[in-house]
Structure 1
């Protein structure tokens, strides 16, 4: 007897406060949430820019004690997560604040998780890399304040980390990791260079496009229990709304945001797009480009990205995602031509009457070129001899591949990688 198909979908969205100067209300938000002693997680660059200390001052002005942990690592590892978690456990905090890019926000999520429900980091990491243990209950309040327009971590239930000894990136994923409140302040992006905006913005575009064309939620088998319903459910009527608007904003504003650091309107709309896409893919999921991005970022540590701190080589997340997206969407086109046509239309900002398998990929490549993205995986240091390892790493991301609109096994993923050596 065939398994019953899913008929239920959910939307769990982080409350969002948006607007220039809104980060000054961080203390008010924590007080509202009943926090008396907060751990503020950030990275050295955000601390040096003065952003983290301005947030700390807002918190302390409300009579809330606040300690700053400024050692969040860009592209976190299990070890860097553990360092933050140890700080959190020792500090006996009753609330958490993440200030920075997705890496700082994810570090804050994991610090909150381990401080609330103590365990080794790998116990919570998604299988097959980790044990995939579910948190036994809700976490302490977490206020997320992004300083980039990219990951959408302020709206998602996922924390991403690098496992160097396994040469793979993976994540911790559970609805309890979703922040309690987000503050999105466009003024915080003023100090970001064009390369950071490029990578982060292309991540937004991929989040939106992947979730928009994801397999429909009602093609999955129904879970045995509500607790077994995955956070990434597949595309739903509600996730499509958020993903579509994020795609539209990416097409309108990303080029402007990269070209002019003083274009606060463009950078503000890209921050909003990141949050909207986070809500969309937080429900629907991402798939082939993101599954390949983790081994692309995790297998080699030789690429030194322009415009980023030079303390360690790494592949910025958005660039690791975007380089395989044209080939991936070319592959998935046949699963739902209309959704792919509509995605291209939203990104281009003009009617697309007829579409073929190249329409969305061509729109993505044009955007990549305009915002000076790497041209493909070869520019990031990969060649033919690396294809097998990249595919092996992607296949470990079954929670992502499960929502791809078209099944992708080893041969299909290898073909996508080979098509992605150079996109122009």
Structure 2
């Protein structure tokens, strides 16, 4: 890993590759095709890109039961415990609306209403991601969403990974479709003969999925446009180099575009971590991917003080931040911008990815400056409610009419004046 001194004017932000014009054109064509031709288009793309012919996209109850019956019992218990932890954490995010009394029997209120239907995209390919199922479904359930749909590309055998089906079964979700890619996003946004549309789409995916989510935004809501994973570690000489290196590689192995950064006040630790990263890379099953990440987006910065290091972290606004310092809790309190913060030696980032209960769907590429991780609020909407009594209206109408006319909106003024004092009883 590259090691440099941290200076005040250094930029820690990545320049990431986005979708190109050809990819965007492909996505737009797919979206239009699915919108116009529904299931027929889904079948076409499943055969073209996934190499499978499907008559029925929906996963049957028999397939779910078979996956559960043949699944490792210990792993199932681990998923169940992780689900309980995630639910416990997200239950604390629930909130009620409020009602504010006014004079003369009038009142104002805000109602909290769950979305009717949401769709979760689960990536496919060579890996299975049951953790994505847990992280996306549980906050929606806690919010009170009644219809939750999962889409994911099937393998060559025409099936979804057993781990994904088991996670869905643990949560009681059984509306699952074997559809992936941009065509899945189109189906969730516009609907087809088989798949009814949803109100919001969440979940990670490749560049085609990300571009499709961006294109359908407005037709439906989306969670975010997430980029490749990233981790920053803030450490001093109390940290262990082998542990820091392992944590950096835990994110580097995700993607060649993933970002792994160490910011430290210790030159000794910096050199030791660089050596450990190289050593551990050679033993990592996903070495090729992780090495590209480290070579392109891996960096070690040596700060003159912890204050400078903390300010650099806030500039980076990383998706994941580990604080491994002698005063980890107090240093973590000074962090303003990070998607998730892992405090202390034993709070390694994968703890949050899988088990602790916090959500692992997080803002990337410095958007933690203004964005938050997936949470219960992402699955609700708020309605403002106004009730004015006759007396409150009489007192307020002249004021409202004056304000409306000040803005040149005579119709607004007449609307508020139309009811009331000049009319007799019906």
Tell me the TM-score normalised to structure 1 length: 0.24
Greater RCO (Cα-Cα under 8 Å, separation 6 or more) = 2
Q: Highest CA radius of gyration, 1 or 2?
A: 2
Question: Which structure shows the bigger proportion of residues in helix conformation?
Answer: 1
